[in-house]
Amino acid sequence: MSQSVVTDRIEPNRGVIHWFRFASPYSFYPMAARLEPWFWILAIAFGIAGLWVGFFVAPTDAQQGEGYRIIFVHVPASWLSMFIYLVMAGWAAVGLALNTRLAGMWAQALAPTGALMAFLSLWTGAFWGKPMWGTWWVWDARLTSELILFFLYLGFIALQAAIDDPRRADKAGAIIALVGAINVPIIYFSVKWWNTLHQGSSVSMTKAPSMAMTMFTGMILMALCFWMYSIAVALRRVRAIILEREAHTDWVQQLPEVKA
């Protein structure tokens, strides 16, 4: 009986230790290689389904006509631009607090994809705004704060590229990421805090969506596509960063792709 009790108490800790080993670049690298293709497959599948529903199944909007269909790219890109920044800042904080190498690599890997999403959000918003507002750009609270987010991504990338020592670059980038994180809630709540041209959220966690179900379905499918794409690209990029930073180690030099 006592042996069974001791075993039961130890087993959960073994599981935790098993997952913690993936915090090492050596253990994470092969797992990332196995996971990446699955996320590419999911991204393609969700993308095809989302585009089909969004452009061929969803009805024409009564007020905005066919032009509203830009939301199937604009809204997911906007969501991901904010979400990726928070994840990037989270990894940067972990790396700063615990001095873990992989956390800094993850933050560096996520930044270009987050910048891409912010860029898509701004440009698709401009294409949407021209027929709706009669202008490509206004210094609207949400547009301006999203532009600041884009510059924060670029600043993070530029600062890390300017510092030769990766560990110092991670720490410097973490400070920008953490300070800039305050901009994310400003983007989200800007339409509530200020009188802006930008319309309010059509999707909320606390109430039913204020759009046709087919529109909502298409938007969610495209959001899942963007999410899976972001993970797949980040896995690819973090593997490249691992190879670059760990090039001096024996296990990297023994990899087939490095030998080739």
Q: Smallest Cα–Cα separation from 150: which of 185, 111, 189, 179?
A: 111
215-226, pLDDT tens digit by residue?
889 999 999 999
In the prediction, which pLDDT does 198 show? 55
Query: Does the residue 27 lie in any domain?
Result: no
Q: Which domain holds residue 189?
A: 70-200+228-250
What pLDDT is stored for residue 28 in this prediction? 86
- Residue 55: DSSP 8-state: I
Q: Domain total for the chain?
A: 1
Tens of pLDDT along 224-248? 999 999 999 999 999 999 998 887 8
- List CB contacts of 108: < 8 A, sequence separation 6 or more: 160, 169, 170, 173, 237, 238, 241
In a domain, 89, yes or no: yes
- Confidence at residue 168, expressed as pLDDT on a 0 to 100 scale: 93
Q: Which residue has the higher pLDDT, 67 or 201?
A: 67
CA 164 – CA 68 distance, rounded (Å): 46
Three-class DSSP category at 134? coil
Cα distances (Å, whole numbers) of residue 221 to 48, 74, 118, 120, 145 = 9, 13, 19, 17, 26
Does the structure show a pLDDT above 60 at 153?
A: yes
Question: Other CB atoms closer than 10 Å to residue 8's CB: what's the count?
Answer: 9
Does residue 242 lie within any of the structural domains? yes
* Residue 196 pLDDT grade (very low, low, confident, very high; cuts 50, 70, 90): low
**Average pLDDT, integer, range 100-125:** 94
Query: Is 121 a domain residue?
Result: yes
- Crossing angle of helices 183-193 and 141-162, in 10° steps, is 170
Question: Does the pLDDT at position 46 exceed 90?
Answer: yes
Lowest-pLDDT range, 8-12, 198-202, 254-258?
A: 8-12
The H-assigned helical ranges of the chain are 2-20, 25-52, 71-98, 101-133, 141-162, 166-180, 183-193, 213-245, 250-253, 256-259
Model pLDDT, residue 23: 66
In a domain, 257, yes or no: no
**Is there a domain that residue 63 lies in?**
no
- Domain contains 129: yes
Lowest mean pLDDT among 26-40, 72-86, 206-220: 206-220
d(CA 72, CA 2): 59
> Is residue 245 included in any domain, yes or no?
yes
**Phi/psi at 165 (5° precision):** -75, 115
* Region of poorest pLDDT, from 35-49, 90-104, 131-145, 204-218: 204-218
Task: Look at 2 and 222; give whichever has higher pLDDT.
Answer: 222
